[in-house]
C-alpha cells in the first residue's frame, strides 16, 4: 500500500513538471537564442490562454538553456497591484547578484570595479530596489535632491548599466519575465528602456491573452519594445489528442488498457488545456478513477468511478474543490500565503502563523503533495528558510479572491505588524516598501486598533523610499493613507507631520497627473501655513513641479512671492536698475583680492539663505526662456549671495553663469577665466549630479572658446553631454549635443566626419525628445548635402527658408550663418552681403556664442568683396559698422589666436590688397595659411588659399597653385561642389580617373615577386645608360620602370615629380603590366598602394630610405601599407640635380631583404640621367631671351636669398630656419620666383638662375 502511495505521489510530482506538445516552440526559442551572438538584444514573446502552459514552457526552456551554460533568470509580475512596485525588477537584480557572487574572486573583483565605475552614486537605485545587491555593490553614494523627471531617467539608466554589465560577465544571459499582463507602469518603463545596441541578452516575456483588457494593455507595450529589437512572437495552442497521449505516457510510464477512452474524456472536459488536464488527472487519481491493475501492472480507466466523480466545468471549480478539501490548518496557511504574495518563505509563515497542531513545514509539504504549491529548489536560502510558490497563478488568484474582506484585512494587518516588529531593524528598513504595502489593505483595522500614530511615520518613510525609486503611484497611495490617518484636525493636532506628508503628497499627485488634487492641496497648505518660511517652502515645491511641466510664468510668479516671504524682493518694473546695482555689488565682491577667498569659502548652513538660493536657481531656466533682464538679475544675485555668504550646491553654476557676464558683457575675460576655475573646482567638490551638466554647458558654450583653444570648449560640451545623460538632465544634454555639432562645424571639421557624428548621435534625438536638436541636425545635413552635390531640390531639403519663422532665435541665426557661407562660396556675393548685414544687427541675441565671430567675419568679408567686385562704398574702412566689427575681430584674435587669428589675418590681407600694399598682402596670406594649418581648420585653410588665388589672379601660375590647393582642401573638407567650381573658374586640370588603379594590386605584386632574382648588376649586356640618353624623356622614364626596376628585383615601382611645391605621382609600374603615365599626375595621398609615411618623410627631408623588412619600431612601423604586408623591402630615393630636389623614385618588393647596397647605388646612378634630362629639356622656351639684369631688378632681396638657399639644396623648413621666416612664407617667395622666372619647379628655377648668373 505504501508503495502504491509512493507511486501516486511520484506521478503527481511529474504532472507538475511535465511539458509536452511544445517541441516546435522550444526549438524556435532555441533557434532565436542562437542569434544572441550577433551582439544585440533578442526578445521572444510567449502568449496564450490561462493554463495553456506559458510558465511551464518558459521554465523548460530556461532549464535547457542552463544546460548550455546559459545564466538563466526568472521573474514575474504580481497579480495584485497592492503588493508593491518593481517586484520583477528586484527579482532580476537579486538573482543576477546571486550568480555573480558564485564567480571566482578575481572576476568578481573586476565586476565590482565595473559596477562602481558605471553606476557611481546611482548604485543606490540598485541597492534600494534589491538590498541583497549590497553584497555586490559597496559604498553606494547618496542621491541628492533632484526633480522627478531626472529621477526616473537615472533609475532606468542605472538598471540598464547593471544589466549590460551582467550580460557581458554572465554571457549568455537569459532573463524571463512572466505575467506581463499585470505589469506596473514603473517596472515596464524600466524594461522598455533596455537598449538593444548596448545589452546583449536574451529576453523572454510571457503574458495571458485570454481577456481583451490584457491584450489592450500589453500590445502597445510590445509595439514600443519591438522598435529596433530582434523580436519573435509565439502563440500557444491547446494540446491535441496525440499530445495528450504522449503526456500520459511520460507521466505514468507504463502501458494502458483503455487509453483512448481516457484521452477522449480529457479532451471533452479540458479542451486540451494543460493546467486543466493536470488538475483533472489529479482528481481521477484521488477518486481511483485511474488505477494500476494489480495483475497486469497496466494503467486503467475505471469508467464507473470516473462517471461517479463530478467533474467541474471550469478550472476554478477544480481548484476550489481541492482547497475546500483541505484541513483548517492547511487552508489557513494557504490564505496567509496568498496575502504575502505568489512567492513566500517558510520562515515568514512561521513568524505569522500561530503554533498549533502540525508544524508549518509539515503543512507546506502536504500542500505540495496536493499540487497547490511547489517548493522553489533554486531559491533555498543559506539559513534553510526555503521559498515556496503557488503552483499556478490561478491557484493564487482563487485563494486570495475568495477571502472574506474582513479576513483579508485582518491577515494583511497581522503580517504588517509582525514584520514591522521584526527584531532585525535593518531587515525592516530594507523591506519597508513590501511591509507597508500590506497596510494599504487594512485601513479600518489600523484606525480601530489605535496604532495610526506609530504607523504614520513608517508610511512616510516608505513613501519617501518609493518616491526615491520613481514609484510615484505607490508613493502617492502611501502618503494618502498617512494623510488619512492623521485625521481631519491634523493641522492643529500634528502640524509638523501634516505639512511634511502633504508636501510629499502634492508632488506625487502632480506627477501622477492629478492636477486638480494637487491644486486643492496647494491651496489647503497655503491656508494653514504657520510661518513665512513654510509659505516659501510650499511655493518652492510647487515651483519645481511647474518648472518640469514648462509652466514658466507660474514658476516666476511663485518664485517672486516665495522670495518676498524670505525677505528678498524683485521688482519686475525696475529690472534694469536692479541689474546695475548687482553689477556694482559684484565688482566689489569679485575683486581680485577676494577670488581665492571665494574659492575656499565655508559651506552655507543658514536654512533661509539656502532656500533663497534654491528658489533663485529654480527660476533661472524659466527666466532664461522668457525675460533676459530677469535672467541676468537672477544670475547676478546667486553669484553675489554666494560670494558674500559662502558656497553651496548652487555655487558652481552661479559662478559659471557669472563668468559669462564678466566676459561677454563686461569684457573682463581674465577675471571670468579665474571664476571659471573656481566654478569647476566647486563642481568637483560638491559632485556634478545636480548642476554639472548646466555648469559644463555654460562654460563650454559661452566662455572657454573666447580665451582657450576650441578643443577645450568641445571637451567641456562633451562633458556636459555625458554628465547630462548620466544624471538624467536631458535638457542640457540636448543643448550640449546641438552645440557640439555647431562648434565642430565652425572649427573646420571635415563634413564627412561631421555627418558621421550626427548619424552616430541620431538615436539621442528620440531618446531626449528634443525638437531643437532634431531641427539642428536637419539644417546641417541640408547644408552638407548642398555643399557636396549640386542641384539639391527644395523637396529634398529637411529645413527650408519658409520654416525659419518656426525656429527659435539661436536656430534661426545658425540657419542664416550657414546660408551666408554657402552663398559666399558659391560666388553669390551680393546676396551673402545683404544677409550678413541683416544678421549682424541681431548679434545681441547670440551674445557669447561662438557663431558671433563667424557672423562678424562674413560681414567684413562680404563687405570687402562688394568693394572689390562692385565698387560699393570705396571708403569701407570709414564705415562705422565695418570699423566696429573689424576692431572686435582683432580683439577676439588677440584673446584666442588659435580660434580667431586666421579670420582676422584674412580680413587684414584683403584690406592690404585693396590698398595696393602687395608685399603686406602676400605676407598676410602666407601667415593666414600657416595659421590655419596649425589650427587644423580645413575650411579656413581652403578659404585662405581661395582668397590668395583671387588676389594673385593677375599672375596665372601663382593663382592656379593657390586655387589647386584650395580646390584640394575644399574637397578634403567635403565641399566637392565648391572644389569643382574653383576648377572651372581657374581652368584647373581635371585629374584623370581610372588611369591608374588605386587599390587592390598589393596581393598581385606580393605574389609576383616571389622567386624573382635581382639582375641589375649583371645587366644582360644592355647599355642602360645609352638607352636613357637616346630616348625621349617620357620613353626614358618608362624604360627605367619597365626594364631597370624588374632587374633590381622590384615588383612595383613609381616615379613622383615635384609640381608647384607638391609631389605628384607621374609614372607607375607593377610586375606583369607595362608602365603607365598619369597624364594629370595623382596626389600620392590618394593612391592606396604607396606607403604614405615613407613618401611624406622622403619628400620633406630629401633623405633616401631603404627598408629591408617590415619594421617593428620607428617612424614607419605604423604605416598601414607596410603593416599589411607579410614581407616587404623598399627603396625610396630623392631625385636631385645640382643638389636641387625634383622628386622621388620608389621601388618595392614583397620579399624581405630583396635590395642590397649595390642595387641602391645602381638605381641612384640611372635615376640621375632621368633627372638631368628633365632639368635640361624642360627649360621653358624663350628663356634665353631673358636679360639677367632685368630679371634681377624684378626679384626682391628676400627672393634672391631664398633662391640661393634653393640652389644649396635646402628644404622649405631649412630655408625658413636660416632666414628666420616661416615655411609658409618661404612657399610664397618660391611661388613668386616661379612666376618671375617663368618656371614650374625648383630645378628649373635654379637652372635658369644659374644660366642668368643670378646666383
Unique residue bearing C-alpha cell 582657450 = 708
Grid cell in block for residue 1160: 641602391
Burial 1019-1043 (b: 16+ CB within 10 A, else e): eeeeebeebbeeeeeeebbbbbbeb
pLDDT digits (tens, 9 = 90+) for 74-85: 988 887 655 667
| Predicted pLDDT at 620 | 82
Stronger pLDDT, 948 or 371, i.e. the higher one: 948
| Relative orientation angle of helices 851-870 and 880-895, to the nearest 10 degrees | 130
Residue-level pLDDT at 802: 59
The 10 Å Cβ neighbour count of residue 41 is 23
pLDDT on residue 563 = 94
Q: Which of 14-23, 276-285, 453-462, 1115-1124 has the highest mean pLDDT?
A: 453-462
What is the mean pLDDT of the segment spanning 1176-1197? Answer: 57
Cell triple for residue 273?
488545456
Tell me the pTM.
0.62
Residue 1055: is its pLDDT beyond 80?
yes
Pairwise CA distance, residues 76 & 79, whole Å: 9
Going by their DSSP bridges, the two strands 299-301 and 290-292 should be labelled as antiparallel
Q: What is the pLDDT of residues 992-1045, one digit of tens each?
A: 333 344 434 444 444 444 443 444 444 443 578 778 877 888 888 999 999 889
At residue 260, the pLDDT reads: 85
Cis-peptide into 1058, omega within 30 deg: no
Closest CA to 655 of 601, 725, 722: 601
Q: How many CA atoms lie within 13 A of 778 on its CB side?
A: 18
Structure confidence by residue, pLDDT tens digits, 510-528 = 888 888 999 999 999 999 9
Gap between the Cα atoms of 520 and 528, Å rounded: 13
pLDDT in tens, 380-433: 333 344 788 888 778 888 888 888 999 999 999 999 998 898 888 888 888 888
Burial 606-630 (b: 16+ CB within 10 A, else e): eeebbbbbbbbbbbbbbbbeebeeb
pLDDT-derived band of residue 808, with 50, 70 and 90 as boundaries?
Answer: low
Helices (H) and strands (E) in the chain, counts: 63, 16
Instruction: Extract the C-alpha cell encoding 740.
Output: 557640439
- Average pLDDT for 588-604: 85
Burial 1120-1155 (b: 16+ CB within 10 A, else e): ebbeebeebbbbbbbbbbeebbbbbbbbbbbbeebb
pLDDT at residue number 1072? 86
What pLDDT is stored for residue 1011 in this prediction? Answer: 40
Q: What is the pLDDT of residue 142?
A: 55
Under the banding of pLDDT at 50, 70 and 90, the label for residue 1177 is: low
Model pLDDT, residue 205: 92
CA 1215/CA 1196 separation, integer angstroms: 16
For residue 1067, which of 1099, 1039, 1097 has the smallest C-alpha distance? Answer: 1039
What is the pLDDT averaged over residues 187-200? 74
How confident is the model over 820-851, as pLDDT tens digits?
999 999 888 889 999 999 888 888 777 778 88
Q: What is the DSSP letter of 1057?
A: E
348 has a pLDDT exceeding 60: yes
pLDDT reading at 210 higher than 60? yes
- Angle formed by the axes of helices 23-33 and 54-67, nearest 10°: 50
Whether the predicted pLDDT of 1230 surpasses 90: no
What sign results for the dihedral spanned by CA atoms 1191, 1197, 1202, 1205? positive
Q: How many CB atoms lie within 10 A of CB 477?
A: 22
**Is the pLDDT assigned to residue 874 strictly greater than 80?**
no
Q: Of 7-21, 733-747, 938-952, 1082-1096, which range is least confident?
A: 7-21
Give the phi and the psi of residue 345 in degrees, each rounded to 5: -115, 150
Residue 558's pLDDT is: 94
| Lowest pLDDT segment from 657-671, 762-776, 1134-1148 | 762-776
Distance between CA 542 and CA 680 in Å, rounded? Answer: 30
pLDDT tier at 856 (50, 70, 90 boundaries)?
very high
Asked whether 291 and 259 are in contact (CB, 8 A), the reply is: no
Q: Where are the alpha helices (DSSP H) in 313-392?
A: 315-324, 328-340, 346-352, 360-369
For residue 857, the model assigns a pLDDT of: 93
| Phi, psi (deg, nearest 5) at residue 1050 | -80, 155
Q: What is the pLDDT of residue 1102?
A: 81
Strand partners for 1192:
none
pLDDT of 274 over the 80 cut: yes
- CATH topology for 1002-1177? Beta-Lactamase (3.30.450)
Residues contacting residue 2 through CB under 8 Å, at least 6 positions apart: none
Sign of CA dihedral 975, 981, 985, 986: positive
What average pLDDT score do residues 929-948 get?
A: 89
Angle formed by the axes of helices 730-746 and 751-760, nearest 10°:
170
pLDDT above 70 covers what percent of the chain? 87
| Cα–Cα dist 999/996, whole Å | 9
Mean pLDDT of the chain: 81
Is the per-residue pLDDT at 810 higher than 80? no
Least confident segment among 615-629, 960-974, 1065-1079: 615-629
Cβ contacts of residue 849 below 8 Å, gap of 6+?
701, 702, 810
Q: What is the pLDDT of residues 315-338, one digit of tens each?
A: 667 777 778 888 888 888 899 998
Multiple choice CATH, 1183-1251, 3.30.420.40, 3.40.630.10, 2.60.120.10, 1.10.10.10: 1.10.10.10
pLDDT over 90 at 1053, yes or no: yes
Architecture of domain 25-235: 3-Layer(aba) Sandwich (3.40)
Amino acid at each position: 500500500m505504501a508503495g502504491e502511495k509512493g507511486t501516486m505521489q511520484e506521478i503527481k510530482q511529474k504532472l507538475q513538471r511535465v511539458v509536452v506538445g511544445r517541441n516546435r516552440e522550444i526549438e524556435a526559442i532555441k533557434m532565436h537564442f542562437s542569434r544572441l551572438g550577433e551582439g544585440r538584444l533578442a526578445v521572444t514573446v510567449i502568449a496564450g490562454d490561462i493554463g495553456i502552459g506559458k510558465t511551464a514552457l518558459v521554465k523548460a526552456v530556461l532549464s535547457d538553456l542552463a544546460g548550455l551554460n546559459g545564466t538563466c533568470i526568472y521573474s514575474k509580475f504580481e497579480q495584485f497591484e497592492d503588493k508593491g512596485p518593481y517586484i520583477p525588477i528586484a527579482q532580476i537584480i537579486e538573482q543576477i547578484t546571486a550568480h555573480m557572487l558564485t564567480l571566482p574572486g578575481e572576476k568578481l573583483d573586476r565586476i565590482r570595479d565595473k559596477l562602481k565605475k558605471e553606476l557611481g552614486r546611482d548604485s543606490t537605485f540598485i541597492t534600494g530596489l534589491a538590498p541583497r545587491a549590497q553584497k555586490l555593490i559597496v559604498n553606494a553614494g547618496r542621491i541628492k535632491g533632484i526633480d522627478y523627471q531626472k529621477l526616473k531617467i537615472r533609475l532606468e539608466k542605472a538598471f540598464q548599466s547593471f544589466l549590460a554589465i551582467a550580460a557581458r560577465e554572465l554571457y549568455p544571459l537569459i532573463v524571463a519575465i512572466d505575467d506581463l499582463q499585470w505589469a506596473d507602469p514603473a517596472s515596464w518603463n524600466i524594461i522598455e528602456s533596455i537598449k538593444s545596441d548596448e545589452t546583449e541578452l536574451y529576453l523572454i516575456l510571457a503574458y495571458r491573452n485570454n481577456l481583451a483588457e490584457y491584450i489592450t494593455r500589453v500590445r502597445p507595450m510590445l509595439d514600443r519594445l519591438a522598435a529596433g529589437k530582434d523580436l519573435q512572437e509565439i502563440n500557444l495552442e491547446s494540446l491535441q489528442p496525440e499530445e495528450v497521449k504522449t503526456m500520459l505516457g511520460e507521466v505514468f510510464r507504463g502501458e494502458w488498457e483503455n487509453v483512448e477512452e481516457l484521452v477522449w474524456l480529457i479532451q471533452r472536459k479540458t479542451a486540451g488545456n494543460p493546467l486543466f488536464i493536470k488538475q483533472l488527472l489529479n482528481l481521477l487519481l484521488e477518486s481511483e478513477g485511474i488505477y494500476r491493475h494489480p495483475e497486469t501492472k497496466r494503467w486503467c480507466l475505471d469508467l464507473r468511478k470516473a462517471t461517479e466523480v463530478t467533474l467541474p466545468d471550469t478550472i476554478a471549480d477544480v481548484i476550489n474543490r481541492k482547497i475546500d478539501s483541505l484541513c483548517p490548518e492547511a487552508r489557513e496557511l494557504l490564505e496567509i500565503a496568498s496575502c504575502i504574495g505568489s512567492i513566500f518563505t517558510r520562515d515568514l509563515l512561521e513568524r505569522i502563523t500561530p503554533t498549533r497542531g502540525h508544524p508549518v513545514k509539515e503543512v507546506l509539504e502536504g500542500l505540495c503533495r496536493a499540487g497547490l504549491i511547489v517548493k522553489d529548489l533554486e531559491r533555498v536560502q543559506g539559513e534553510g528558510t526555503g521559498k515556496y510558490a503557488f503552483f499556478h497563478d490561478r491557484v493564487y488568484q482563487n485563494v486570495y479572491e475568495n477571502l472574506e474582506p474582513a479576513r483579508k484585512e485582518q491577515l494583511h494587518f497581522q503580517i504588517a505588524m509582525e514584520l514591522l516588529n521584526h527584531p532585525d531593524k535593518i531587515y525592516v528598513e530594507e523591506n519597508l516598501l513590501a511591509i507597508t504595502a500590506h497596510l494599504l489593505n487594512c485601513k479600518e483595522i489600523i484606525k480601530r486598533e489605535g496604532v495610526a500614530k506609530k504607523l504614520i511615520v513608517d508610511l512616510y518613510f516608505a513613501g519617501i523610499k518609493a518616491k526615491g525609486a520613481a514609484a510615484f503611484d505607490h508613493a502617492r497611495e502611501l502618503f494618502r493613507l498617512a494623510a488619512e490617518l492623521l485625521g481631519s484636525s491634523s493641522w492643529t493636532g500634528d502640524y509638523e507631520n501634516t505639512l511634511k506628508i502633504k508636501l510629499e503628497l502634492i508632488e506625487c499627485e502632480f506627477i501622477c497627473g492629478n492636477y486638480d488634487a494637487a491644486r486643492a492641496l496647494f491651496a489647503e497648505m497655503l491656508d494653514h501655513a504657520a510661518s513665512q518660511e513654510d509659505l516659501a517652502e510650499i511655493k518652492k515645491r510647487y515651483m519645481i513641479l511647474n518648472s518640469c511641466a514648462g509652466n514658466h510664468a507660474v514658476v516666476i510668479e511663485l518664485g517672486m512671492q516665495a522670495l518676498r516671504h524670505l525677505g528678498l524682493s524683485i521688482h519686475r518694473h525696475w529690472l534694469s536698475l536692479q541689474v546695475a546695482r548687482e553689477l556694482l555689488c559684484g565688482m566689489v565682491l569679485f575683486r581680485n583680492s577676494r577670488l581665492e577667498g571665494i574659492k575656499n569659502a565655508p559651506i552655507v548652513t543658514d536654512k533661509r539663505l539656502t532656500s533663497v538660493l534654491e528658489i533663485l536657481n529654480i527660476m533661472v531656466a524659466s527666466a532664461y526662456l522668457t525675460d533676459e533682464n530677469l535672467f541676468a538679475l537672477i544670475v547676478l544675485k546667486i553669484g553675489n549671495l554666494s560670494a558674500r555668504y559662502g558656497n553651496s550646491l548652487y555655487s558652481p553654476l552661479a559662478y559659471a553663469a557669472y563668468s559669462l557676464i564678466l566676459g561677454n558683457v563686461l569684457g573682463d575675460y581674465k577675471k571670468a577665466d579665474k571664476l571659471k576655475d573656481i566654478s569647476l573646482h566647486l563642481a568637483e567638490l560638491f559632485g556634478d549630479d545636480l548642476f554639472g551638466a548646466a555648469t559644463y554647458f555654460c562654460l563650454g558654450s559661452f566662455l572657454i572658446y573666447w580665451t582657450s583653444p576650441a578643443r577645450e570648449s568641445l571637451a567641456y560640451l562633451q562633458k556636459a553631454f555625458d554628465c547630462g545623460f548620466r544624471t538624467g538632465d536631458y535638457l542640457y544634454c540636448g543643448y550640449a549635443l546641438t552645440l557640439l555639432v555647431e562648434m565642430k562645424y565652425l572649427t573646420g571639421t571635415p563634413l564627412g566626419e561631421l555627418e558621421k557624428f550626427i548619424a552616430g548621435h541620431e538615436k539621442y534625438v528620440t531618446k531626449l525628445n528634443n525638437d531643437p536638436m532634431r531641427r539642428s541636425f536637419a539644417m546641417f545635413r541640408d547644408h552638407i548635402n548642398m555643399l557636396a552635390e549640386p542641384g539639391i531640390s527644395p523637396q529634398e531639403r529637411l529645413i527650408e527658408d519658409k520654416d525659419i519663422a518656426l525656429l527659435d532665435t539661436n536656430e534661426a541665426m545658425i540657419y542664416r550663418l550657414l546660408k551666408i557661407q554657402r552663398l559666399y562660396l558659391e560666388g553669390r556675393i551680393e546676396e551673402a552681403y545683404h544677409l550678413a548685414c541683416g544678421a549682424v544687427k541681431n548679434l545681441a541675441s547670440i551674445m557669447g556664442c561662438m557663431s558671433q565671430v563667424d557672423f562678424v567675419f562674413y560681414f567684413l568679408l562680404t563687405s570687402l568683396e562688394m568693394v572689390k567686385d562692385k565698387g560699393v562704398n570705396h571708403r569701407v574702412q570709414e564705415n562705422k559698422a565695418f570699423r566696429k566689427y573689424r576692431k572686435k575681430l582683432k580683439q577676439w584674435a588677440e584673446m584666442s589666436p588659435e580660434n580667431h587669428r586666421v579670420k582676422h589675418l584674412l580680413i587684414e590681407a584683403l584690406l592690404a590688397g585693396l590698398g595696393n600694399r602687395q608685399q603686406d598682402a602676400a605676407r598676410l596670406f602666407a601667415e593666414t595659411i600657416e595659421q590655419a594649418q596649425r589650427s587644423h581648420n580645413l575650411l579656413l585653410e581652403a578659404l585662405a588659399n581661395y582668397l590668395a588665388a583671387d588676389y594673385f589672379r593677375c599672375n596665372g601660375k601663382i593663382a592656379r597653385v593657390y586655387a589647386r590647393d584650395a580646390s584640394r582642401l575644399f574637397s578634403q573638407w567635403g565641399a566637392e561642389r565648391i572644389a569643382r567650381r574653383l576648377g572651372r573658374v581657374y581652368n584647373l586640370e581635371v585629374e584623370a580617373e581610372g588611369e591608374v588603379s588605386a587599390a587592390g594590386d598589393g596581393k598581385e605584386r606580393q605574389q609576383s615577386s616571389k622567386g624573382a632574382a635581382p639582375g641589375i648588376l649583371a645587366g644582360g649586356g644592355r647599355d642602360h645608360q645609352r638607352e636613357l640618353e637616346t630616348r625621349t624623356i617620357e620613353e626614358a622614364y618608362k624604360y627605367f620602370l619597365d626594364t631597370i626596376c624588374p632587374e633590381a628585383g622590384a615588383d612595383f615601382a613609381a616615379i613622383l615629380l615635384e609640381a608647384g611645391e607638391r609631389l605628384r605621382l607621374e609614372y607607375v609600374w607593377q610586375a606583369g603590366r607595362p608602365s603607365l603615365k598619369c597624364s594629370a599626375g595623382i596626389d600620392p595621398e590618394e593612391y592606396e598602394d604607396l606607403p604614405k609615411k615613407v613618401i611624406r618623410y622622403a619628400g620633406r627631408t630629401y633623405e633616401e630610405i631603404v627598408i629591408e623588412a617590415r619594421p617593428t619600431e620607428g617612424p614607419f612601423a605604423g604605416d598601414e601599407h607596410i603593416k599589411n604586408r607579410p614581407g616587404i623591402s623598399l627603396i625610396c630615393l630623392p631625385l636631385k640635380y645640382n643638389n636641387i630636389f625634383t622628386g622621388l623614385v620608389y621601388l618595392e618588393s614583397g620579399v624581405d631583404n630583396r635590395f642590397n647596397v649595390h642595387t641602391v647605388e645602381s638605381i641612384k646612378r640611372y635615376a640621375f640621367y632621368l633627372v638631368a634630362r628633365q632639368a635640361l629639356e624642360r627649360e621653358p622656351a624663350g628663356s634665353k631671351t631673358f636679360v639677367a639684369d632685368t630679371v634681377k631688378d624684378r626679384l626682391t632681396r628676400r627672393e634672391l636669398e631664398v633662391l640661393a638657399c634653393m640652389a644649396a639644396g635646402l628644404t622649405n623648413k631649412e630655408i625658413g630656419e636660416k632666414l628666420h621666416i616661416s615655411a609658409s612664407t618661404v612657399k610664397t617667395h618660391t611661388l613668386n620666383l616661379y612666376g618671375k622666372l617663368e618656371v614650374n619647379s625648383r630645378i628649373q628655377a635654379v637652372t635658369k638662375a644659374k644660366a642668368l648668373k643670378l646666383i
